[in-house]
Structure 1
Amino acid sequence: MEVITHIAGAYKIAELQADTVLLDNADNALQIFVDLYYQDYERVIVHEKNIIPAFFDLSSGIAGEILQKCSNYKMHMYIVGDFEKYPGKSIRDFIFESNKGKLVNFHPTVAAALEKFNQVK
């Protein structure tokens, strides 16, 4: 895993890059969040390809478990990717509602995620 550092406003943001799945369960997500926190990151950009596909099947519960870790540990996570391939109404509604908030957002590009981070106070 490679961590690319971005600065948006006063925030140091970690963009995770890897050729493999990084977030495949809540424990792995928590370990990554804790490691990043101790490196002074409070925000993370994760590419959709680095998240287990079951995350996008809300009935699996994986999304809820991982997002609960974000909430508990105040780690803002923006997921970047092509979400058009997930046509289900529940995931589409979930993405829409998440993007209204500040903690977890879904964006098509890293640039769009960074722009949103710049707007978040």
Structure 2
Amino acid sequence: MPDSLQDFSGTPVLVYAPDGPPLRNENDALDVIGESGYRGATWVAVPVERFTDEFFRLRTRVAGDIVQKFANYGMGLAVIGDISRHLDASSALRDFVRESNRGARLWFLPDADALRSRLARS
């Protein structure tokens, strides 16, 4: 399945395929942000398979660096998929996910339908 621009309740979302290159760092995030902006998206849905394990280990600062780039450019980021194994391993990550999901620009969701529903309520 290729990456595709989709309309989620009036919000243009670039939905990334699970089998592409991983987002490892800020430069990878900038590439995603640039492509998304070029294609007219205001949100990006990235499957968990596209993130390295370092993203889910907060002490590495990878998540913070990537998330900060999305915030700087005003682009929403949805991490899509099952992250339960990462949550089980880290109370700090559980807190980060809980706080992120209370916000408006970074969400950890189980699937694209949950993103579609959340954007419809926004």
TM-score range, shorter chain: over 0.9
- Structure 1 counterpart SS, 2:23: coil
By how many angstroms is 1:10 displaced? 2.5
Query: Mean Cα displacement is larger for which, 85-94 or 15-24?
Result: 15-24
Q: Which residue of 2 aligns with 1:26?
A: 26
Q: Which residue of 1 aligns with 2:74?
A: 74
Mapping 1:26-105, distance limit 5 Å: 26-86=26-86, 87=88, 88-105=90-107
Q: Which residue of 2 aligns with 1:6?
A: 6
Show structure 1 runs of 5+ residues with no match.
none
**C-alpha distance in 2 between matches for 1:36 and 1:2:** 14
- TM-score between both structures, scaled by the size of structure 2: 0.92
**Residue 109 (1) aligns with residue 111 (2):** yes
Count of residues in Structure 1 that have an aligned counterpart in Structure 2: 120
> Percent identity among equivalent residues?
27
Q: Once the two structures are superposed, what CA deviation does each residue of 1:32-75 show, in whole Å capped at 9, x if it has no partner?
A: 11111011111110000111110000000000000001100011
- TM-score between both structures, scaled by the size of structure 1: 0.92
Q: Which structure shows the bigger proportion of residues in helix conformation?
A: 2
Show structure 2 runs of 5+ residues with no match.
none
